[in-house]
A and B are shown apart, each in its own frame.
Chain A
């Protein structure tokens, strides 16, 4: 069975601080896909990144970066120099190969204060 654990229920930081959101996953598949989604206060789910299990290269996109480590089954997300607009709920998700259904973690509430 697949499972995604986001142990941090809520994180509060002050603007300009760096923050890392943790994600640990479980799967028996050798091929799988990992995702991060953002849910701002308005409620929609916004796609941030997709990573397949064979690509362990870290990725950076502006202030966002992702650290995928298969050895620890983790796919952590770091926001550098956080901003108030980053305040949202962030979800990590997992899907198995050839089946697009997502298994979501419980989400981490990020509050960035000015």
Chain B
């Protein structure tokens, strides 16, 4: 398996623009997570899905952030409008089942820079 695939790997955008980050989880995995890593806050969970349904979005910073999982093999995290403080590395991760507490498999991350 190719692992969790994120695109793009790097994104530079201007403040106010819409940004869409993409994630393809490992085939057969039923849980998907979006994490953000910053110097100030470390690694924090933004939202997670079980079987394509959002379960907990309490980590989403504000209404400018939205995430969707239209099918089992694809998820997006959208920021509209983007702000410089959104600059961070965004990781997507997947696990086989919401019940097994197995390790999360992380993608390579998307480094977002908002100027």
Q: A-side interface residues toward B, CB under 8 Å?
A: 33, 35, 37, 43-45, 47, 50, 52, 91, 95, 97-107
Contact = CB atoms under 8 A, between A and B. Distances in A.
Given A104-B43, A107-B42, A43 B89 contact: yes
Q: Which of B44, B100, B101 has the most CB of A within 10 A?
A: B101
A97 B101 CA distance: 7
Contacts of B109: 43-45
Contacts of A35: 103
B48 A100 contact: yes
Interface in B86-100: 89, 91, 93, 95, 98-100
Contacts of A95: 101
B106 A101 contact: no
A59 B115 CA distance: 46
A21 B35 CA distance: 23
Q: Please classify the interface of chain B as helix (H, G, I), strand (E, B), loop, or mixed, using the class held by over half of its residues.
A: strand
B98 A98 contact: yes
Contact of B103 (A47, A91, A103): A47
Given A43-B108, A43-B109, A44-B108, A100 B56 contact: no
A98 to B, nearest CB: 5
A100 B43 contact: no
Contacts of B111: 43
Given A101-B45, A101-B56, A45 B101 contact: no
Given A33-B101, A43-B109, A47-B104, A101 B33 contact: yes
